[in-house]
Structure 1
Amino acid sequence: MPVKKKRKSSGSDDPGLRKCKITCFCRPQAPGRLISPEDQFSNKKCLAWFYEYTGPDEVLGPEGMEKFCEDIGVEPENIIMLVLAWKLEAPNMGFFTKEEWLKGMTLLQCDCIERLQGKLDYLRNQLNDTIIFKNIYRYAFDFARDKDQRSLDMDTAKSMLLCGSCIDSLQISISFSSLSQSKYKVMNKDQWYNVLEFSRTVSTDLSNYDEDGAWPVLLDEFVECQKARLAAL
């Protein structure tokens, strides 16, 4: 009987070619970075840090706040503390509850002094965003006022305005503070909101101020006083 010839193997049966085809579709994967336990945020560690500053009522109050600020190297009146309070959604100046602390610090991924210190530049840079700045500025009104009052007393308002140039124009802030020493003892929310809008839209020489605009009377009187002062120079 004639011997059957072996059929030539096709290219697909060649091991070398098979290997080549496989490598065409399989891209090498970079090894993933393993996160060590030390790098992970710890709720337990965060709460233990919180309790370093609290009393028996489990609330971080004024005394604890002073020590907290000292530990992170930030003065209590520094505007960074206002930004941090905004991040923690704290409604009362000088107080952080356990819930506020844990929620805010989890968001920031900070469970110790060193981690929060590493976030200070980030917190300050939040003020460079005009929308975020506006939100923080508006938050500051309710944060700073006495909760049994609907308005903000003028001394506190001046302190907040001058806190790290809390409004865009420090010159306007200082001039406004001098006017407020006379008849105005409190500032309502509408006036507070409009001070920021005023500082962003009206030039320092007041040349573009619209007297027929919907500004509060307090700002109309400020402009009148300021124009008289400038004319006398």
Structure 2
Amino acid sequence: MPPKRKRADDATAATGDSGTSTRATRASTRGSKKSTKATSDGVVEPADSVEAGPATKKPKNKASKSKSVTEPSSSAVQTAGKTGTKGVDEPAHSKGKSLPPQDVIPPPAVSLTNTTPATIPPPKPVLPLKNEPYTPQRSLSLFQSYADSDNPNVIGPESFETLCSAANIPLDGSLPLILAWQMQAKEMAKISKDEWVKATESLKISSLSQLTIALTDLENLLILGKPSLKKSAKKDQDPYDRTLYYSYADDAKAAFQKFYMFCFSLAKPEQSRNIDMETSMAFWSVLLTPHYPVMKEVLQFITERQGTYRAANKDLWSMMLEFCVTVKPTLQDYEADGAWPTLLDDYVAWKKSKTSADSLETD
């Protein structure tokens, strides 16, 4: 529980940037490989948003990938453009504001794309693990086979999608984000040659099957909360070098927090302090919902008030994780004067009011 302190006005915390991003996010299934600037793609933005997401571009394999969901789609994490926002992360309190209706309406589908839903082809069979030792040459050759044709020093958005498809990495889950984290990528859906070489050398990975196993190990540990793997008697028995994995397993909560905060930097426009709310919701649905069920209702609450909360700054981002970790699902230990962000104060007030109303109806 965060210590009690005088809460600064949330509006002040969110209006520190100019709202203009000089670098648009690369998208895994959309966007241009030649430019870091993006054009409007029909992305629903705040009224004062300056930039929009990248323009739709068909991937090389010509497979149309889109997903219709009832909550923030994690595929939106890959396709969302980074946009600067002049708006605040949440509104100031309104003392006289009436509470929302008691009957909760299922949230509408939240998507950061404006594409037509299409049937997603079935995943390819899992690649067999080739019993070959890591070599820098194999790793570099693997990178070159997916590098952009017009820039051999980078795997851009379309090539990133091709890489994920070949490695059986779904674009609508946490694995692409874990991949970016392990590569310490500076842009979404983009890996530079230097980032690739450094990461694969550390992990001793030079094949797609090894890469898939390494990312799946981390997803099981950090996202799905599965028990950590036992150390092999001999290091060379592992499909890749799990030294880093075991260091994460020693303190999985701390490792997840590092990964979670990395995702904020990955999604945030370079010259902005905020992430637009729809992108934030897409990330939260992937990072927090699997392990913290309360997050599903928080996302529904935000969805029903679309446009009320425009963006998330670093404070709201970190406190959302703190809320999930420290506050009980009953909310009985939530302290409204504990310097929580306004969005969470509003959610808790709505939830408690709804619970009281449901109790009266039952009686």
TM-score by length of 1: 0.77
Any idea what SS the aligned residue of 1:76 has?
coil
Any idea what SS the aligned residue of 1:91 has?
coil
Q: Shift in Å at residue 223 of structure 1?
A: 0.9
Q: Does 1:169 align with 2:292?
A: yes
Most deviating of 218-227 and 158-167: 158-167
Alpha-carbon deviations, 1:78-113, whole Å to 9, x = none?
Answer: 212212211111121111111111111111111111
Q: Shift in Å at residue 126 of structure 1?
A: 4.1
Most deviating of 194-203 and 159-168: 159-168
Q: Does 1:111 align with 2:206?
A: yes
Counterpart of 2:98 in structure 1 is: none
TM-score by length of 2: 0.51
Contact map agreement 1:83 1:124 (CA 8 A) in 2: yes
C-alpha change, 1:68 and 1:40, in structure 2 (3 Å) is: same
Distance in 2 separating the partners of 1:104 and 1:59: 14
Counterpart of 1:95 in structure 2 is: 190
Q: Shift in Å at residue 74 of structure 1?
A: 1.2
Distance in 1 separating the partners of 2:144 and 2:353: 55
2:265 aligned to which of 132, 139, 142: 142
Q: Does 1:45 align with 2:143?
A: no
Any idea what SS the aligned residue of 1:152 has?
strand
- Give RMSD over aligned pairs: 1.8
Q: Does 1:203 align with 2:296?
A: no
Contact map agreement 2:288 2:321 (CA 8 A) in 1: no
Q: Does 1:151 align with 2:246?
A: no
Taking only the aligned residue pairs, the percentage that are identical comes to 29
Matched letter for residue 110 of structure 1: I
- The runs of at least 4 aligned residues of structure 1 exceeding 6 Å deviation read none
Counterpart of 1:231 in structure 2 is: 356
Distance in 1 separating the partners of 2:191 and 2:198: 11
C-alpha change, 1:169 and 1:118, in structure 2 (3 Å) is: closer
Q: Shift in Å at residue 71 of structure 1?
A: 0.8
Which runs of no fewer than 5 residues in structure 1 stay unpaired? Answer: 1-37
Most deviating of 63-72 and 117-126: 117-126
Most deviating of 175-184 and 118-127: 118-127
Distance in 1 separating the partners of 2:271 and 2:159: 24
1:214 aligned to which of 330, 339, 347: 339
Distance in 1 separating the partners of 2:187 and 2:289: 19
Q: Shift in Å at residue 166 of structure 1?
A: 5.2
Matched letter for residue 81 of structure 1: P
Question: Larger % of helix: which?
Answer: 1
Matched letter for residue 135 of structure 2: S
Which runs of no fewer than 5 residues in structure 2 stay unpaired? Answer: 1-130, 226-251, 359-363
Distance in 1 separating the partners of 2:274 and 2:211: 33
Alpha-carbon deviations, 1:15-57, whole Å to 9, x = none?
Answer: xxxxxxxxxxxxxxxxxxxxxxx74321121111111222122
1:75 aligned to which of 153, 170, 173: 170
Distance in 2 separating the partners of 1:117 and 1:95: 17
Distance in 1 separating the partners of 2:353 and 2:163: 46
Alpha-carbon deviations, 1:136-187, whole Å to 9, x = none?
Answer: 11111111122232101111111111115457413x2222223323210101
Contact map agreement 2:319 2:341 (CA 8 A) in 1: yes
Counterpart of 1:25 in structure 2 is: none
Counterpart of 1:29 in structure 2 is: none
Q: Does 1:60 align with 2:155?
A: yes
Alpha-carbon deviations, 1:200-220, whole Å to 9, x = none?
Answer: 111111111012212122211
Distance in 2 separating the partners of 1:146 and 1:213: 29
* Corresponding pairs, count: 195
Counterpart of 2:55 in structure 1 is: none
Any idea what SS the aligned residue of 2:329 has?
coil
Any idea what SS the aligned residue of 2:146 has?
coil
